[in-house]
Amino acid sequence: MARRVGSASLNRIRAFFAVDLTDDVRARLARVIASGKSHLADDPIRWVRAETLHLTLRFLGETGPETIEAIRQDVQRGSMSWRSFDLEVRGLGCFPDPQRPRVIWAGSAEKSGAVATIAADLEQIARRQGLPAEDRRFSAHLTIGRVKDRLSPEGANRLSEFLGQSAGEAYGIVPVRSIELLRSDLKPSGPVYTRLAIFALPE
């Protein structure tokens, strides 16, 4: 069952569904980000603030309050068929590749298939409420950095080295017992997130 947070009379907002992290996993990834800032200090990379790290399940974009409310109700009904799961955060990588990187991520794995099921259901719900389809297939990951400009060959090598050093490193397990609907307000210092609803996942 969803627990609503905030007012239904919101202005048009930028929103998404996500999985929050444990403090332990967040702290470990904060150390990874600090290492990346040091190792890649001369490269055009914008690192994510550790306190805002999350696993995005479905981005809704700029959406009106009526549509947000319809999606919330649809997800509340659908969430009763979902199940809680444990998410392992491990290793680093980038999209699309180290020679042309745009996004630097920490990987995640989940054996039961629950996260993929939830993401697929959220995609169907979003489309049913009139939102355009995602242009990329869902891939469970946590964005830790974004490359603002093309890297030099030396920068690409530095990134490959940085990623390789953490290829198999484990950052912990996140027991996922709920998912969240979050509002994102873009600020000069980075996005600020406000929780709009929490959807508990049955055991």
- State the residue for tokens 């990329």: 136
Q: Which of 141, 142, 144, 171 is catalytic?
A: 141
Residue 54 annotated among the catalytic residues of the structure: yes
Which residues does residue 92 pair with via DSSP β-bridges, in sequence order?
Answer: 106
Distant-in-sequence, close-in-space partners of 115: CB < 8 Å, separation ≥ 6: 19, 55, 57, 85, 87, 108, 140, 176
Contact, 55 vs 87, CB < 8 A? yes
Told to judge if 141 belongs to the known catalytic residues of this protein, a careful annotator would answer yes
Q: Which of 28, 54, 72, 158 is catalytic?
A: 54
**6 close to 196: Cβ distance less than 8 angstroms:** yes
Residue 12 contacts residue 61 (beta carbons within 8 Å): no
The rounded Cα 52 to chain-centroid distance in angstroms is 9
Tokens standing for residue 44 = 């055009």
Q: Report, as residue numbers or ranges, the catalytic residues.
A: 54, 141
